[in-house]
Amino acid sequence: MTLNVPADLQLLDAQDALRHKRDEFLVPDDIVYLDGNSLGCLPRGVPARLAEVTQQEWGEHLIRSWTRNAESAQDWMALPDRVAAKVSRLIGAGADEVAVGDSTSVNTFKALAAAMSITERRVLLTDADNFPTDLYMAQGLNRLLGGSWEIRTCPNTEIMEHLTPDVGVTLFTEVDYRTGRKLDMQGLTARARELGILTVWDLAHSAGAFPVDLNGCGADFAVGCGYKYLNGGPGAPAFLFVAGRHHDAAPVFLSGWMGHADPFEMARTYSPAAGARRYLVGTPQVLSLSALDEALNVFSDVDMNVLRQKSLSLTDTFIRLMEPLAEKHPLTLVTPENHDERGSQVSYRHPDAQNVMKSLIERGIVGDFRTPDILRFGFTPLYHAHADVWRAVQGIQAVLKGQK
């Protein structure tokens, strides 16, 4: 798609401190990819790293790769800890407070089970429109506990007033997956701590998209995935954060051998490893962990505050360029314009959103549809330019204009 990008956007791209990062990704030239909040683009270093793991470490060294490079911490056994250290920098945590493995759903179960076991209260407060897997895990865990908990819901715009002294645990997603609305983690966590409430945060649309400071906020538990803004590939391992103050008190209910203090001792009684590694369960997923390990290297020299400023610039530009279209077509902006309340995506309601998105994707503008009427566009500052925003809006205009 060849278009004349306005001079002001060209200037923003010329001044972009992160523009060199785009070259570290395999971004297709024939589309504008605005779905990195579902699946991030492929970092260029990942294919070579996977080839090395499969051909040399697996193909040649076989089982010896579990421990053959222990002195350099490059062995497979060290993979979860190595990746945890890279993730911890992005979420404001200590490396020993993060465990990497399993899925976000499984880690949500672990976090909830731990939190719910160390409070005497029996109310779990969550967002009524939270991501379904979070709600499902809470519901399933409550069934396992004999239905002894009340799962209380509230709109995510009214959380503060629902933080009451009878609540024991909260489960909130920092950025709403549909609207892109960003919660005040600092303020909500501070209020929860005042009331003795334990917090569990879902960072699926936060980690890698903007700075997160779990310890600075005083968060208790958190989970997040590796395949969205962290670009670890489809089904990449997820992460779990457990604040250091809870390591000894919060039980490990999925007590697998990889979370044992000495996995190869083959003891018949579980003895937890130090730190958050105790929350690992089974054998590390070497191929997917290696992909995520390599993908996280793109963040090694990134100032997350600079990344946040670019994210806001991209989304501000998109909203501004979409305003004339919203005046002519049945588009309703549902993403907050206030920077403090916005993640790294912009969403609109449209009565025929599913078909509109289908037409956009056919035209090379790849966002996604969320039921019942949401058009969702994700912006990844590491590989997006303001020129991409311009191209996207021109494509959206053409699709909407062509509708009957």
CA 87/CA 222 separation, integer angstroms? 12
Annotated binding residue 157 = no
Cα–Cα distance measured from residue 238 to residue 240, given in angstroms and rounded to the nearest whole number: 7
Q: Which is the catalytic residue, given 25, 33, 227, 239?
A: 227
Going by their DSSP bridges, the two strands 374-378 and 368-370 should be labelled as antiparallel
Instruction: Give the active site residue among 25, 131, 229, 383.
Output: 131
Does residue 104 have a known ligand-binding role?
yes
Residue 380 labeled ligand binder: no
Q: Which of 265, 301, 308, 259 is nearest to 280 (CA)?
A: 259
Residues 170, 124: Cα–Cα separation, whole Å: 6
383 is catalytic: no
227 catalytically annotated: yes
Is 81 within 8 Å of 277 (Cβ atoms)? yes
Among residues 110, 181, 228, 391, which one is catalytic?
A: 228
126 marked ligand binding residue: no
132 belongs to an annotated ligand binding site: yes
Known catalytic membership, residue 131: yes
Taken in order 333, 335, 338, 344, the sign of the CA dihedral is: negative
Is residue 228 flagged as an active site residue? yes
Q: Is 318 annotated as a binding residue?
A: no
Q: Is 264 annotated as a binding residue?
A: no
**339 is an annotated ligand-binding site residue:** no
Q: Is 270 annotated as a binding residue?
A: no
Does 377 qualify as catalytic in the annotation? no
The Cα 176–Cα 206 span in angstroms is 10
* 133 labeled part of a ligand binding site: yes
Backbone angles phi and psi of 198, in degrees to 5: -85, 140
Q: Which of 202, 368, 373, 388 is catalytic?
A: 202
Q: Any known ligand binding at 173? A: yes
Cβ pair 356, 365 in contact under 8 A: no
Could you say which of 22, 178, 342, 376 is catalytic? 376
Q: Is 189 annotated as a binding residue?
A: no
Cα–Cα distances (Å) from 368 to 202, 292, 357, 375, in that order, read 21, 24, 6, 6
Taking the CA atoms of 104, 108, 109 and 110 in sequence, report the sign of the dihedral they define: positive
- Catalytic residues, which ones? 131, 202, 227-228, 376
Binding-site annotation: residue ranges for pyridoxal 5'-phosphate? 104-105, 131-134, 173, 202, 205, 227, 257, 283
Binding-site annotation: residue ranges? 104-105, 131-134, 173, 202, 205, 227, 257, 283
